[in-house]
Amino acid sequence: MKEFFKMFFATLLAMAVVVVGGAVVLVVGVGALSSMSKPKPVVVEDSVLVFNMSGNIQDSPVSQSEQEVINQVLGQDSPQRYALRDVLSSIRLAAEDEDIKGLYIKGQFQPSGYGSGFAALKEVREAILDFKESGKPTLAHVTYPSSLSLYVASAADRIYMNPEGMLLSSGFASQPMFLAGFFEKYGIGVQVTKAGEYKSAAESFVLKKMSEPAREQTEALIFDLWDEYVAAVAGKAEITSEEFQEILDTRGLLSADDALEIGIVDKLAFAEEIIEELKEITGEESEKSKFKATSLAKYIQSNNTNKSAKNGYVAVVYAEGAIVVGEGEQGQVGGDRIAREIRQLRENNKVKAIVLRVNSPGGSAFASEVIQHELRLAKEDVPVVVSMGTVAASGGYWISTYADKIFAEPNTITGSIGVIGLFMNFQEIANNHGFTFDTVKTAKFADFMSVARPKTEEEMEIIQDEIDHIYEDFLAKVAEGRNLPIEEVAEIAGGRVWSGEDALEVGLVDEIGGLEAAIAHAGELADLGSDPAVRDFPKPKDFFDELIKNLSQNTMIGQSNVLVDTVQSVFEEVESLATTFNDPKGVYAILPYRLDIQ
């Protein structure tokens, strides 16, 4: 049935491509060739480093997409994408660069996938604070800052705000969508099993609101994240967190005047006034409204060289996205693909340590075990350190648990040690549209995994036994990996989600720190020092490899079009359901739902 939906929407998409298509491949080819011939960007002397937040910061290395190349050829801008480690190293390098006279922060984050989460942005904020130690001025300009953007901007010396601006965040809220009513209305059957009181990942499919355990853990989690955010913004305003909370609860949304009065921003100003100050910083004498600037993106490219690895290096492996069986698509953690990457690294004599950067809500229990198995083998040869990003929960914790050391940020989302079984059937919706099914089978349970009918009570009992077995195995692995009594693990498991700060208290992580701290520790364990040579894996994909792959899959390559975008969005929703929930047993270690907090 999944294949039917995939093929149906893929056919619609292909039709849209035919209707809208043109000589796009030629444009892409010319664009790619032109981009290959461009010289390396040059840092402007006596310039300000401009960090445009209008984009996404992802954990893994950035590959150039087809759309970005097309936009480049057509002279159009694409949302900026940064790799976290590039941002951190470049901001710290700029602090010592004589050509860089200051840092200017502007724009608004546009999170995509699992990028630009609070844990990653905490590292960015700390890098900006380190930059300030150089004595170079740091300015920020905001208009309608989200919580993510204001959190980072609050590290600046001075924040300017457009006089017509407003703070868009007056608190954090989690509003998961529940699909039970939709499934009931259209006759889609859903059966779930679980192990763990707090394991509420399947609730959105069978309930119409949160269960009490789910509400309890969500409240605890978002308040931990909120406390970290409030402390940063209140600290900029030089007021207590309690005072800031009271202001928000009294006034609600804060206007630019409110933000200035409270001290969250330092001055209300339009762009031209900020440009004048930046001209003074850079010594620009032109009367035009411009200043000497080097964009962070270009600065990253100009300094994009690897440190010598003659004595070996630390390999950073990125597990970013939902964990799925097989190779996985872009934005997913393919169990086979990541396991193969780790296997190749542990057999490489130049690799002296592995850092696994996890930014994943989990997913397939089977795929998680495939990855964990390879990490355990790697640990026999080299140190293995885990760096938890914005989220490293359920299957994300499964793959982390055997590391020599686990680092997390205070606002990392982790834990969720539990298991669910999710099974859908389309009998009712098919019958309502004239489709019927009949079965001939050689054994009682031959059609056990069929989507043409709901599972019997006896079958659900069999599935529950398997879920319980996998959950017990999960507990045992955590107990062994973390060197904790299994009774203690059982108390903190049950599917309960923890913040990084709370996870440290209960023993699920070892130390508060980001990716750089994890790399430094891995370097020391491998006798490479705290500033080792580093290589990222999987490596950024070559543009032409991606082009050939997409052409072979009949994927659209071209400019945005309403018809194509509409069909594409529907296709992606169906594709997500079909590819994320692809465990052969229907068993998942995955977060209850995604927390999108702006």
Give average pLDDT by consecutive 10-residue segment, the chain, 598 residues. 51 50 45 51 90 94 60 58 95 96 96 92 97 97 95 97 92 88 90 86 87 90 92 95 94 93 96 93 83 94 85 97 92 95 97 98 94 97 97 96 97 94 89 90 90 92 93 96 96 94 97 97 97 92 54 41 44 52 68 56
With tokens 């040869």, the residue in question is 381
pTM for this one?
A: 0.84
Distance CA 142, CA 268 (A): 10
Those residues whose C-beta lies under 8 Å from the C-beta of residue 246, and which sit 6 or more positions away, are none
Among the options 394, 400, 416, 499, which is catalytic?
394
**pLDDT of res. 201:** 80
Two tokens, residue 324: 């799925």
Q: What is the DSSP string of 354-411?
A: EEEEEEE-EEEHHHHHHHHHHHHHHHTTS-EEEEEEEEEETHHHHTTTTSSEEEE-TT
Q: Does residue 103 contact residue 152 with C-beta atoms inside 8 Å?
A: no
Q: Are strands 419-425 and 138-142 parallel, antiparallel or unpaired?
A: unpaired
Return the sign of the alpha-carbon dihedral for residues 454, 456, 457, 460: negative
**pLDDT of res. 598:** 47
Distance CA 57, CA 125 (A): 13
| 199 counts as catalytic | yes
- Phi/psi at 517 (5° precision): -65, -40
CB atoms within 10 A of CB 55: 21
Those residues whose C-beta lies under 8 Å from the C-beta of residue 377, and which sit 6 or more positions away, are 343, 346
Question: What DSSP element (H or E) covers 102?
Answer: strand 100-106
**pLDDT of res. 66:** 47
**pLDDT of res. 83:** 95
What's the farthest any 2 CA atoms get from each other in the chain? 86
Distance CA 598, CA 173 (A): 9
**pLDDT of res. 223:** 92
Distance CA 305, CA 113 (A): 27
Strand, coil or helix: what is 335? helix
* Side-chain-facing half-sphere of 168: CA atoms under 13 Å: 14
Strand partners, 498: 414
**pLDDT of res. 241:** 94
Amino acid at 278: L
Those residues whose C-beta lies under 8 Å from the C-beta of residue 162, and which sit 6 or more positions away, are 141, 142, 143, 256, 268, 269, 270
User: Which class is 313-422+467-590 in CATH?
Assistant: alpha beta
**pLDDT of res. 308:** 85
**pLDDT of res. 77:** 58
**pLDDT of res. 119:** 94
Q: Does residue 13 contact residue 564 with C-beta atoms inside 8 Å?
A: yes
Q: What is the DSSP letter of 46?
A: T
Among the options 101, 106, 122, 199, which is catalytic?
199
**pLDDT of res. 169:** 83
Q: Does residue 503 contact residue 412 with C-beta atoms inside 8 Å?
A: yes
Distance CA 262, CA 247 (A): 9
CB atoms within 10 A of CB 54: 13
Two tokens, residue 315: 């390999």
**pLDDT of res. 26:** 44
| 394 counts as catalytic | yes
With tokens 């913004």, the residue in question is 233
Question: What DSSP element (H or E) covers 562?
Answer: helix 562-580
